[in-house]
Structure 1
Amino acid sequence: MALRTPTLRQRRLGAELRRMREQAGFGGSHLARLLGVTPALVTQMENGKSAVSEERLREIATACMCGNEPLIDALVGMARERETGWWEEYRERLPADLLDVAAIEAHAERVSTYSITFLPGLLQTPAYAASVFARAVPPLPRSEIDLRLAFRLQRQQIVQGGATPYTAFIHEAALRMQFSGPEALADQLGALIDHSESSGISVRVVPFKIESLPGPSENFVYIDGPVPELDTVQIDISFGCPLFDAPADLASYREILGRMASVALAEDESRDFIRSIKKE
């Protein structure tokens, strides 16, 4: 069955099937012969443009000699998905990459973030978030800021409701950056302290005194999937939020998070540190 506009999850499923085929050393035509289908159908499945049944998926795994049962079961779960998410109501109103991030977060087993320029979006107050959006170049119209703010507040429910474990590594620079004056920042820092005391949320500060920053210079989000192979990294840049899922990229960012955990302040120390900045 052809799919007109593949969702992010369908594209990821197709990408994993392609990766499975490539790891077996097969070309698309060779796999098509093993399955008894046309090469065009293999291409459509790998592009997320043709639905893949559980039976077909397991047939592909067998043909490609993939014995990773947890991965296969996770892919079967993705193939069975039929419901659309709440973010679809924003389709054609917001950039597609923002909707993709919400889709990944909604299926996450855990979310970890590192912030160096502004505080994590999933923990931002409405006033702070609106101030961040207002700094866009070229400037966003008020209606666009309000739309993005409403979208962000819905995204926040996955962690602020305790549904998804969340760890935020926050550089001291982000704690001191003012987007809308000291009063708005103080309110944001107070909210951050409250969040850090909530079940399922861990906030840890990376202070200036760290001699060597164990990571990149941009904000990033690491989203754990049901198995490590289905993890995703999202990077914040000025013109979008690209996603990465290549095994080498995932391994690199796992290493970065491990180093962050080794140098960041403990949770209690981090709360005291944030309180001291708030008092300033």
Structure 2
Amino acid sequence: MPGRSNPTLRQRRLGVELRKMREQAGLGGTELSGLLGVSPSIVTQMESAKIGVSPERVRSIAAACKCSNTPPVDALAKMAVERTKGWWQAYRGALSTSFIEVAEMESYAQGLFTWATTYIPGLLQTRDYASAVFSRITPPLPQHDLENRIEFRLKRQQVISASGVPCTAFIHEAALRMQFGGPKVLASQLESLLVDAERPEISIRVVPFDMHTFLGSGENLMFAMGPVPELDTLQMDISRGVLFFDSPAELNTHRDLFARMDETALPIDQSQDFIRSIKKELDDKYD
């Protein structure tokens, strides 16, 4: 069977988790290959997601590594049988891999937490606001690329909304005041946030300027909960795309970060009042 030339985010994550399992058992690749009765190259290809892994193989690896933690093994075995192509695959070749992989991560999440410091989270953006965010890029995007990005972002929103996955958005006041597209676009975006805040699966929490501290880094973050904590994923926006993190240290650090945000951000009702007050400022100033 020919190897995969372009494994997906999920396929790579499965390989990473198998490698972690082997390393935690103190086994080298050659040692594990001997226990499985395969060549060392097969172990390397499984861990790099260059070849597929059956659920039976996942369980054999867990047994060889003396891994008795059943829930993660069951979750990995379930990942191994995933064969359906996600809706995002239709955009391969039209958008960068980072866009595709964010949608893939979201679509399998059991819950989402976001931290936004510079702009409204993508899953809550209006069309005009998203257009303004993408239009700021230098050099300017060709029109067809701009439209592809906007449509993809709106499709992500539709999919997550239909799934009912709970989403908590922590939004810094700076992001609420940045006028991408001008005051009218921002006012419409803030009104849209208030509408979204009424949805049962959406929680919007504001972190105002006068909070006693600034939590975390300045990057926009998304924390996607997996079926078990070991399969959680952190995604970070950077200037040239996105980064994904799955190490236990990074996940624990950001679980703590979001727990502290939950303690310090304004409650839901006060957050909605805060958003209304900013919108009123805009209306009074520019109407």
Aligned to 2:248: 247
Local SS of the residue matching 1:168: strand
Alpha-carbon distance between aligned partners in 2 of 1:49 and 1:106, rounded to the nearest angstrom: 23
Deviates most, 261-270 or 4-13: 4-13
- Asked if structure 2 preserves the Cα contact closer than 8 Å seen for 1:119 and 1:174, the reply is yes
Local SS of the residue matching 2:238: coil
Aligned to 2:198: 197
Aligned to 1:184: 185
Aligned to 2:119: 118
Alpha-carbon distance between aligned partners in 1 of 2:2 and 2:106, rounded to the nearest angstrom: 26
Alpha-carbon distance between aligned partners in 1 of 2:189 and 2:102, rounded to the nearest angstrom: 23
Question: How far 1:215 moved relative to its partner?
Answer: 1.3
Alpha-carbon distance between aligned partners in 1 of 2:172 and 2:99, rounded to the nearest angstrom: 24
Alpha-carbon distance between aligned partners in 1 of 2:161 and 2:227, rounded to the nearest angstrom: 21
Q: 1:156 and 2:160 equivalent? A: no
Give the unaligned 5+ runs of structure 2.
Answer: 282-287
**Identity rate, percent:** 55
- Deviations along 1:187-236, one digit per CA (max 9) or x if unpaired, are 00000000011110000000111111121111100000100111111101
Local SS of the residue matching 1:241: strand
- Deviations along 1:165-193, one digit per CA (max 9) or x if unpaired, are 00000000000000111111000000000
- Asked if structure 1 preserves the Cα contact closer than 8 Å seen for 2:106 and 2:160, the reply is no
Alpha-carbon distance between aligned partners in 1 of 2:220 and 2:132, rounded to the nearest angstrom: 17
- Asked if structure 2 preserves the Cα contact closer than 8 Å seen for 1:159 and 1:200, the reply is no
Question: How far 1:155 moved relative to its partner?
Answer: 0.6
Q: How does 1:97-112 map to 2 (within 5 A)?
A: 97-112=98-113
The residue type paired with residue 137 of structure 2 is A
Question: How far 1:67 moved relative to its partner?
Answer: 0.9
- Asked if structure 1 preserves the Cα contact closer than 8 Å seen for 2:204 and 2:268, the reply is yes
Aligned to 2:143: 142
Aligned to 2:284: none
Aligned to 1:130: 131
Counterparts in 2 of 1:9 and 1:33: CA distance versus 1, 3 Å:
same
Alpha-carbon distance between aligned partners in 1 of 2:197 and 2:160, rounded to the nearest angstrom: 11
- Asked if structure 2 preserves the Cα contact closer than 8 Å seen for 1:167 and 1:202, the reply is yes
Alpha-carbon distance between aligned partners in 2 of 1:265 and 1:2, rounded to the nearest angstrom: 53
Aligned to 1:34: 35
Alpha-carbon distance between aligned partners in 2 of 1:3 and 1:164, rounded to the nearest angstrom: 34
Question: How far 1:160 moved relative to its partner?
Answer: 2.9
Alpha-carbon distance between aligned partners in 2 of 1:2 and 1:234, rounded to the nearest angstrom: 31
Alpha-carbon distance between aligned partners in 1 of 2:65 and 2:208, rounded to the nearest angstrom: 48
- Deviations along 1:13-56, one digit per CA (max 9) or x if unpaired, are 01100000000011100000011100000001001111111111
Question: How far 1:161 moved relative to its partner?
Answer: 3.1
Question: How far 1:141 moved relative to its partner?
Answer: 1.3
Aligned to 2:285: none
Aligned to 2:88: 87
Local SS of the residue matching 1:204: strand
User: What's the TM-score, normalizing by structure 2?
Assistant: 0.96
Question: How far 1:162 moved relative to its partner?
Answer: 5.3
Question: How far 1:2 moved relative to its partner?
Answer: 4.1
Aligned to 2:25: 24
Alpha-carbon distance between aligned partners in 1 of 2:163 and 2:12, rounded to the nearest angstrom: 28
Local SS of the residue matching 1:156: helix
Alpha-carbon distance between aligned partners in 1 of 2:200 and 2:58, rounded to the nearest angstrom: 38
Counterparts in 2 of 1:96 and 1:227: CA distance versus 1, 3 Å:
same
Alpha-carbon distance between aligned partners in 1 of 2:79 and 2:163, rounded to the nearest angstrom: 23
Give the unaligned 5+ runs of structure 1.
Answer: none
- Asked if structure 1 preserves the Cα contact closer than 8 Å seen for 2:205 and 2:265, the reply is yes
Alpha-carbon distance between aligned partners in 1 of 2:237 and 2:198, rounded to the nearest angstrom: 26
Q: Which runs of 4+ in 1 moved over 4 A?
A: none
The residue type paired with residue 17 of structure 1 is L
Local SS of the residue matching 2:84: coil
